[in-house]
Amino acid sequence: MELTGNALHPGSGAGRLFVLRKPVSFWGGVDPLKGIVADPRHPQHGKSLCGRILVMERTIGSSSSSAIMLELLRNRVSPAGIVLGRPDAILMLGILVARELGYPTVPVVQVDESGIERLARAEGRRATITDGVVEVVVRPSPRQGSA
């Protein structure tokens, strides 16, 4: 499967798809030292974002989310890439500041709602992002009865 979206931040990244089922505020909702969902009320509490392709319709919360994104990148526990349904200038600010400070950054792609839904159905599969193109590795299942 291949999706083409709007590259909000260029680059390449690869990892397993991790789809947030509910929006999260990075400020207080993501641990910047461990790269995990830290909000105990979130259905995916304790799950790691680190090294994954993070897929989310949108974020919620504070303008401090940019600082958390910056810390995730500085601590090398960030997602390998981000796919958004809606652009998020605050999250992008953290990535741009990281780039200016010489920290590694991640690609960010915006896709439409149907793209988010398609990626949600492929959760857990390996994916790559390269300058606005999200490619998901879908291996055909082996045929029954073949030798």
Rounded to whole angstroms, the Cα distance separating 31 from 38 reads 5
| SS3 at position 147 | coil
62 given a catalytic annotation: yes
| CA distances for 117 relative to 85, 104, 113, angstroms | 10, 29, 6
The catalytically annotated residue of 25, 48, 62, 64 is 62
Terminal-to-terminal C-alpha distance of the chain: 27
Active site residues: 62
